[in-house]
Structure formats: structure tokens, C-alpha cells
Amino acid sequence: MIIIAEIGINHNGSVHHAHELIRQAKTSGADIAKFQFYDPYKVFGPVGTYPDAEALTQALTVQFGFDQAAQLKAWCDQEGIEFMASVFDLDRFGWMESLGVRRHKIASRVVQHRELCDRILATGFETFVSLGFWDGAGVPYQCSNARYLYCVPKYPCPYEDISLPRAFADSIYDGFSDHTIGIEASLVAVGRGAHIIEKHFTLNKGLPGPDHICSATPDELAELVRLARLMEKIR
């Protein structure tokens, strides 16, 4: 069982807040502390042209450069938790290569960015791929190092919009990237055979930002880890 604490952008632009999130993710029992690195202008478009200008403005406040990414990696090493990130362009993929990461994550938003995904998968490292925006038949990449995650790209995602596989072993999915409120959906996925769980992680669900509401607090993440590992043993 691999449990990923998806810190993402929940640091709200503060490296010190990010450090505490790393520490709490480790204390809660997660295997991986994951971040997101992207250029807001490439993702959301120039100010005034993107339909959701507020999203672009917010994204500009939470961006880290390479030096901050390197600091996060160093803190993860110190705390004894694996560092991982979703990257949205080739430049930031280069950051991950420079930092010597052991695994990669391909986010739903970039799953059809073939040049980037081909470069990531060509490393041969285990790569988690969220399929929230994938609507093709089967899987997008026939690579033995790809691990596909069921995902619904809504923040938060209502329970009625989830259609988890009844048995993950009989599906294309290895795990679940959970954007629901609470930990119950993740536990259902574990019960159905998921062996990778990615859950957004925050210190306070009331903080400003789009992902805090669908994130687990340290107490919730610790409970998710405890129950998921127990269920794995029973399974």
C-alpha cells in the first residue's frame, strides 16, 4: 500500500508552511509528500484572457521556483518521507531530474501532453498517472512503469460523481486519487483492492485556496493510513 499526501499547493506560497505539511505528513504515516509545480500562465493563460481570471490570480500566489523545490526535497529527506511532484512542463520535469526523484506523477490535466508524458515515462521510474481527463479507450500509455489512478477532477468531488471499480484488480486502475471530502471514499477504494491512495492534505480546511476543502487534516490522514494498512492485511 502506497499512501500519498498530496500537499500540492496547500502550502499557500509559504515554504515554512510547506515544511510543516511535510513534517505532519510523515507523522501521519504517509509514504510520499507530493507537490505541484507549474507555470500559471501556461496552465491558465494570460491575465484577462482566461475565463476564470480568479484562478490564475490565485495560482500566481502559490508558485515555487527551483530553489524552493530543492528545499522541499531536502526537508523530505531530513524527515524521512519521499518527495514527489506533478510537473506541468518540460522545464519543471528537468527540475525533478536535477533533484534525483525516484518516482513521478502525471496529473490529469497533462495526461494528453504526449511529449512531457513520454519523457517522464522514458525514465523507467514508477509513474502514477491520474486519468481524470482521459476519455480514450483503454490507457493512454502502454508502459510497464505506469500506474493508473482513478480520478474525478472536481474539487470537491461529490460522492454521486464517483464510479469506483468494483474490483481494482480487474480494472485498468492501480489506485485512487481522491478529491472527495473525508476519507470514506479512499477506504472504499482500499476495500475494493486499490493499492495506491493519493489524498490532498492540509493543516486547516478553512484556509484560502481551492484544494483545502477536499483535503485530509493530519488526524484524518493518520486514520486513513491506520485503517488502510489494516484493511490491506485483512485483504
pLDDT at 49 over 90: no
Residue 143, φ and ψ in degrees, nearest 5: -125, 135
Checking if the pLDDT of 196 tops 80, the result is yes
- Rounded CA-CA distance 63/85 in Å is 13
* Percent helix, percent strand, percent coil in the chain, to nearest 5: 40, 20, 40
Given a contact cutoff of 8 angstroms between Cβ atoms, the answer to whether 116 and 93 are in contact is yes
Phi, psi of 39 (to 5 degrees): -95, 110
**Cβ-Cβ contacts under 8 Å for 69 (sequence gap 6 or more):** 35, 37, 85, 95, 99
Q: How confident is the model at residue 182 (pLDDT cuts 50, 70, 90)?
A: very high
Which residues, in sequence order, are CB contacts of 140 under 8 Å at separation 6+? Answer: 111, 112, 117, 129, 131, 134
Mean pLDDT in residue range 53-75: 90
Nearest alpha carbon to residue 70 among 94, 98, 90: 98
Q: What is the mean pLDDT of the chain?
A: 94
Cα atoms found within 13 Å of the Cα of residue 26, Cβ hemisphere only: 14
pLDDT tier for residue 56 given thresholds of 50, 70 and 90: confident
Residue with cell 502559490: 62
Q: Which residues pair with 132 in a beta bridge?
A: none
Residue-level pLDDT at 46: 53
The pLDDT score that the predictor gives to residue 58 is 81
Crossing angle between the packed helical segments 218-234 and 15-28, to the nearest 10 degrees: 30
Q: Provide mean pLDDT across the span 136-144.
A: 93
67-71, 206-210, 226-230: segment of lowest average pLDDT: 206-210
130: left (phi over 0), alpha (psi -120 to 50) or beta: beta
